[in-house]
């Protein structure tokens, strides 16, 4: 039996504000269920995706207005980043409830957002964002530490980490293997709400100190994910 921690990118669940990818979720559910029935267990931490960014974008727009005209008070600048985080966290939790319900009785009956909370027994444990100041990547790493697991699987909408943004540069080169020092040089040190990076800086520092391995895979390529789960050669980026 093996135990896996998966950071499930919110863009896979909610690729557009008005779209939930039911087809992907159904296929993902089928694959994970197959491996649970083979005796494995999974902790799956859901991101917020376009849902989180839409709500955070709305809050940013409201901050530009003089809201005192409407509700008698301005948005407090000192609380703004924290509020942005809370809006994003709630989006991750909504996605988590959907994923938990999708697995039915195989899933632990509540979403467990606190990554330090110990759960005595589970087949599929669903988590989400917990506290401001980090992303669900951090929650996935923290959950892995709680469970004593040394590998975190990060599922996103790209097949590799690249040496530059592949959306902006056609000559971006995929990276198959990276060290933590090299990755940390690439992404910087600070977290900001809504930051869109392969793996957030705070999570990366914790994973590096804990000598964890993070495996980046394209989430929609479920055949490739199955190869990883079966301990076969797979396509993706490994950081360790």
Residuewise pLDDT in 10s, the chain (240 residues):
799 999 999 999 999 988 999 999 999 999 999 999 999 999 999 999 999 999 999 988 887 765 555 555 566 666 778 888 999 999 999 999 999 999 999 999 999 999 999 998 999 999 999 999 888 999 999 999 999 999 999 999 989 999 888 888 889 899 999 999 999 988 876 655 545 568 888 899 999 999 999 999 999 999 999 999 999 999 999 999
Question: Are the beta carbons of 207 and 180 closer than 8 angstroms?
Answer: yes
Q: Which residues pair with 126 in a beta bridge?
A: 44
Domain positions in the chain are 3-239
CATH architecture of 3-239: 3-Layer(aba) Sandwich (3.40)
* pLDDT value, residue 190: 62
Handedness of CA 96, 97, 99, 105 (dihedral sign): positive
* pLDDT value, residue 31: 98
Which segments of the chain does DSSP mark as H helices, in order? 10-13, 22-37, 49-64, 68-71, 77-103, 136-147, 180-187, 201-209, 222-229
* pLDDT value, residue 40: 97
* pLDDT value, residue 201: 87
Q: Which two tokens stand for residue 91?
A: 């989006």
């Amino acid at each position: 039996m093996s135990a896996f921690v998966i950071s499930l990118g919110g863009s896979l669940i909610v690729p557009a504000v008005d779209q939930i990818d039911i087809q992907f979720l159904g296929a993902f559910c089928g694959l994970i269920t197959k491996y649970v029935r083979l005796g494995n267990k999974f902790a799956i931490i859901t991101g917020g995706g376009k849902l989180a960014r839409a709500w955070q974008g709305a809050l940013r727009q409201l901050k530009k207005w003089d809201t005192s005209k409407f509700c008698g008070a301005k948005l407090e600048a000192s609380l703004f980043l924290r509020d942005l985080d809370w809006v994003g966290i709630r989006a991750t939790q909504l996605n988590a409830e959907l994923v938990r319900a999708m697995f039915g009785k195989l899933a632990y009956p509540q979403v467990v957002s606190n990554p330090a909370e110990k759960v005595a027994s589970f087949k599929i444990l669903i988590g989400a964002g917990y506290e401001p100041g980090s992303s669900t990547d951090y929650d996935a790493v923290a959950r892995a530490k709680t469970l004593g697991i040394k590998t975190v699987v990060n599922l996103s909408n790209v097949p590799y980490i690249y040496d530059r943004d592949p959306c902006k540069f056609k000559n971006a080169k995929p990276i198959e293997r990276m060290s933590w020092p090299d990755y940390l040089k690439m992404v910087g040190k600070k977290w900001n709400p809504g930051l869109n990076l392969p793996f957030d800086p705070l999570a990366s520092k914790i994973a590096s100190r804990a000598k964890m391995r993070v495996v980046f895979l394209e989430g929609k390529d479920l055949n490739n994910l199955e190869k990883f789960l079966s301990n076969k050669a797979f396509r993706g980026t490994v950081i360790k």
